[in-house]
Structure 1
Amino acid sequence: MSVLFVVYVYLGYPLVLTLLARVRRKPMEYPPYFPKATLLIAAHNEQDVIASKLENALALDYPKENLRIIVAADGSDDRTAEIVKSFEPRGVELSYQPERRGKMAAINRAMSKVRNEIVLFSDANNLYARETLRELMKPFSDPRVGAVSGSKNILGSGDGLTKADGLYWRYESYIKEQETRLGSCTGVSGEILAVRYNLYQSPPDRVINDDFFIGLGILRQGYQVVYAPKARSFEHSSLTEGDEATRRSRIVAGRYQAMIMSMQFLPWRSPILVWQIISHKFMRPWVPLAMIVAFVANLLAFVIPSASAANEILYLGWPYRLLMLFLQLAFYFLALLGNLLKGRGAIGRALYIPAFLVNSNLSAVRGLVSFFTGRQTSLWKRARRREELIS
């Protein structure tokens, strides 16, 4: 059962989703639409990248009279606020107070200044393609659409970490496309998320994954959340495997938190959406525990006499138990080798997938421990990115 659980999460759900989406065949093309929009950038101690972000935002291919830019820089104690102020003559606005109360507190304070139809949430460390805003606004031409999320693309040096991170986001992108074809996507990227201002609901205090709850708030009101793959954002991969592990453990801790709060926030009126959220978001954090159970049960099957408890543990005959154990040992060995090679050479590049999967699930275990021990807070500490080496 544990093995089937893992297979369903990574392969079964995308497959079922694809089949259902083909039956539904919801169109993903929308006409041009240019509503008045506010780009709200969250920036805490981002002096190394905020100028590039603002230059990028000002260069977007979108009617200037319909775009407002606000930077929420609460709690920054470096030159972030000073740099943002230097852009004020070009129309950029600063929302700042010295006290740091967390990312969502800064965003909610800045939201009091927003009056436009659409608000686009973004981070300081990612850049948009010139056409991104146009593509992101198109789905809002449909009044049933309440939020739109764009695609996240990873830049880097081409090593194993960069490729693995990029592969993961391509996998996520595929799932989001199929979910959108079915009706609504359940996962959004907080650095490129646009919502109708009048539908925005602030996540509860101390929420870890704020973007997930913003998307849930739209779904609970009966509106669609759409994925727009042509609306592209770019950011560098994490500087080290340790930084990436910290980032992922935070995300997973947020998913455990969301599970506990799910009775209050899930869109129960739509069983299909609830199935999507459970399959896409809530089952994945339990994969590492399922992998541990499968491996331990497989080992016990060789210790306990096969005629009694062993069959009750795995329900598999002798050759299949041996094959299953061999496959698991081979997978973990390849993951270990992939971590040692770190993407170097043809073999290293081939092994970054098992290494990435194991590392991600180790981060999930860290996230589980962090959440239930209370060590993970809603205060946001960004992962160091590779562009900082150039700054």
Structure 2
Amino acid sequence: MAKIELINICKKFGESKRTLLDNPLPNRRTGQANEQRHVPFSMEHLNLTIPHGKTMVILGPSGCGKTTILKMIAGLIQPDEGEILFNGRDMRDVPVGERRIGFLFQNYALYPMMTSKRNILSYFIFRKRTPELDAEAQAKYKRTSELLGVEIEYLQDRMPTTLSGGEKQRVALGRCITRDPALFLLDEPFSNLDPKLREKYRVNLKTLLAQFNITTIYVTHDQQEAFILADLIAVMDKGKIEQVGTYEDIYNRPKSIFVAEFLNLDVETPAINLIEGQQVAPELHDRKVGVRPENVQVFHEAQADRIQGTIVNRINLGLKAVAILTMRVGKSEVVAAAPIGEKLRTGDEVWIGLNKYHVFDAKTGSHISTKFNSQ
């Protein structure tokens, strides 16, 4: 296992460069690849620790620097400043091939002229052959096949051009396993799969990671994947780590409006409703109030601490037996879910209760406090 520490990492990219995500393999001469972008991009004094044996999911929008972190850990690009430690050892001068890392790229990066079996064993194929190495390779392939199931045996003689997205992903994962890595790096490995396969392989991967007990860093913008796979989540934006914690911790105690808006498992409602502070209490006139839809209650009766609003839209979700209500509150909109049988119609004047809400600084978006009410 490995404990990974990124300490005061700085990296800047120029405006004229482009991202080469379709060619993630390192340069043969230098052993490194330059990540390039369409727009100016930088990391400044980024710090992140991944504990032994944990799965850390780095979650954030496209282009925020998630893949850059993986490539720096793998040694494919170098930071301008800072340290990358494996179990306390500075890895900046350690060659890529000696880092014991299994890297699963977004496009899988399979060798097109090799069969699936040879792709899985490529770590051994590119080394000087000896009887001992051949025996080790076959033993690793046998173990990998047992872990991944009969599907790998079925694929072993096929070329990458004949494989589906899910099959390529399986072969690429097998290649990672045979290296006996101390660290897994996975860069959105399910993004090219259809939804049904994605759901299947998420569960399979969760089971495999539990068996290996290997430190894993998984990059995605998919919150469902983060929720399923992560021991810890690092939410990232514009080259900065915004917050680190369990999904539950981050969801219930977001450190900023960005984090609060980014985490949302219910596609039927927004992640959080943002209301002008004065709508909730006079003393919050220079604040933003954020309330999750599940913490909103809708009443016909006025009461202290309730906010007046008007229902402007109602959508019935029969399978969930709920109605999604959109209400106008001053200049803001508040969305809530109510039992489908409630007599709440478009145009009704209602009173809104906030069971729990977050107070944010209106200018910086930083979290200030969390309030609880009993309705």
Which TM-score applies when normalising by structure 2? 0.24
Structure having the larger proportion of residues in helix: 1
Q: More strand per residue: 1 or 2?
A: 2
Radius of gyration: which is bigger? 2
Q: Which has the higher contact order (CA 8 A, sep 6+)?
A: 1
